[in-house]
Amino acid sequence: MSWQWRSITTVWVVAVVFAVLIGIFSSAEHRFAWISLALGGSVIVTLVVQLGTRQVVGYVGRVTASIVGSVVILAVATGILSLVDLA
């Protein structure tokens, strides 16, 4: 795996960790607020990781892939947590 994909998947792993922690520790009425905060945290982590690489070439693509992946992960987590709340 190249360093570009490692920098992208690092952010995805952080988004998964956020989603799991939200599922475990938050109450049902506050989950959507925490999910939005997790997305904001994922954006900040993305910028820190990508600026930390000090590579200009492909920056926009790496940031886009990181953020889109985080959005998809958190959207799936929102759907799963919503279904759990219905049960």
The structure's pTM equals 0.93
* Tens-digit pLDDT string for the chain (87 aa): 788 899 999 999 999 999 999 999 999 999 999 999 999 999 999 999 999 999 999 999 999 999 999 999 999 999 999 999 887
Contact in structure between 67 and 46 (CB atoms under 8 Å): yes
d(CA 42, CA 17): 11
d(CA 7, CA 66): 8
d(CA 2, CA 17): 22
